[in-house]
Structure 1
């Protein structure tokens, strides 16, 4: 738990640009697991256009973000699963990596989605996001200083994350689907002693 808190103590808005990055992290994880430095990985990704971006402008930033998430997982087995497991499992692991890397994602998934799962309240609306950010802005001066456009963008990204892992069916859905935590991720969360994170994946045992 201490390792997680060290990583995610500071709030930042980097997910406005980074987002879910599932396709990218699957590619980057193979280089990471091979022990390839992030700079060498960036060069290979650029050379072979592996991210399939229209320009190379964002490749370095996104590859570095993927490496940071892989670092944040702090579990070699989860990194292997993220690289090669079926998409449904790997997407859950990517979400967990995002939670450990970005405190906003952690707080949202544990404090909002986890609590809804716990209380069996599956209704979800823009109001839930608004209340979440109002509380953050009251508690944190940095977030209080963020522009409205930044906050709105993060709200969009958080909603898209829920769609990616099928907690929401679509961006406009108003009802949460009860997630079924994959065994591989549950074991990894327990190895990391991140038991608080289990509620975000609808697991209370």
Structure 2
């Protein structure tokens, strides 16, 4: 099943804390529906409005569903860097457009030792996608502007972007066992997209 382009990162950027909470519940063999109910009823995310929590929860549950037992344990028990890399992986795995951004822009820069992300790089990426995809072409300017901001937020929180408002890129140090496991389950392309 091909994942369609979507703009869901606008309402659910990094959400590492939230992902950890959902994975903990998932490890207790709770269904997605049980997790949804518990999170909303017991304010597990310690968040604000129920509407924004509910929107974020949909993305977080989708991310948790692509994380197997091994990765889930690493997410909960590994270092902060490892958790961030896993979260980034789960975002790419559930958001085709963001994966393509990582693969076509960030990965390319990291592999060519160009550790600088300029505004024009992001603008060009979206210009190309607008030309290639009828769906993206239908999105409003506001939606695309918010998505660009969300992408930068994810890059910053994952550790790829050194400063929130900066342009300098960092290489992620990805846990060797995690790397090997992702390759073993057929997800080497996501490891590559993170610059490995």
Shorter-chain TM-score range: over 0.9
- After TM superposition, give the deviation of residue 183 of structure 1 in Å: 1.7
Match of 2:189 among 171, 191, 196: 196
In 1, are the aligned partners of 2:81 and 2:173 still within 8 Å (CA)? no
Which stretch of structure 1 is more off in the superposition, 164-173 or 104-113? 164-173
Q: In the alignment, what sits opposite 2:152?
A: 159
- After TM superposition, give the deviation of residue 110 of structure 1 in Å: 1.1
Query: 1:1-205 alignment to 2 at 5 Å?
Result: 6-8=1-3, 10-73=4-67, 75-203=68-196
In 1, are the aligned partners of 2:11 and 2:55 still within 8 Å (CA)? no
Structure 1's 195 and 40: CA in aligned 2 closer, same or farther, altered over 3 A?
closer
Measure, in 1, the Cα distance between the counterparts of 2:81 and 2:53.
Answer: 25
Which ranges of structure 2 fall in alignment gaps of 5 or more residues?
none
RMSD over aligned CA atoms reads 1.6
Secondary structure of residue in 2 paired with 1:176: coil
Structure 1's 185 and 56: CA in aligned 2 closer, same or farther, altered over 3 A?
same
Measure, in 1, the Cα distance between the counterparts of 2:30 and 2:18.
Answer: 15
In 1, are the aligned partners of 2:5 and 2:136 still within 8 Å (CA)? yes
Structure 1's 64 and 32: CA in aligned 2 closer, same or farther, altered over 3 A?
farther
Measure, in 1, the Cα distance between the counterparts of 2:157 and 2:62.
Answer: 20
- After TM superposition, give the deviation of residue 56 of structure 1 in Å: 2.2
Which ranges of structure 1 fall in alignment gaps of 5 or more residues?
1-5
- After TM superposition, give the deviation of residue 17 of structure 1 in Å: 0.6
Structure 1's 179 and 60: CA in aligned 2 closer, same or farther, altered over 3 A?
same
In 2, are the aligned partners of 1:38 and 1:64 still within 8 Å (CA)? no
State TM-score, norm by structure 1: 0.89
- Measured against aligned partners, the alpha-carbon deviations of 1:162-189 in whole angstroms (never above 9, x if no partner) come to 1111111212212111222222331232
* Moved >3 Å (runs of 4+): none
State TM-score, norm by structure 2: 0.92
- After TM superposition, give the deviation of residue 156 of structure 1 in Å: 0.5
- After TM superposition, give the deviation of residue 50 of structure 1 in Å: 1.8
Structure 1's 64 and 33: CA in aligned 2 closer, same or farther, altered over 3 A?
farther
- Measured against aligned partners, the alpha-carbon deviations of 1:115-142 in whole angstroms (never above 9, x if no partner) come to 0011111111111100110111111111
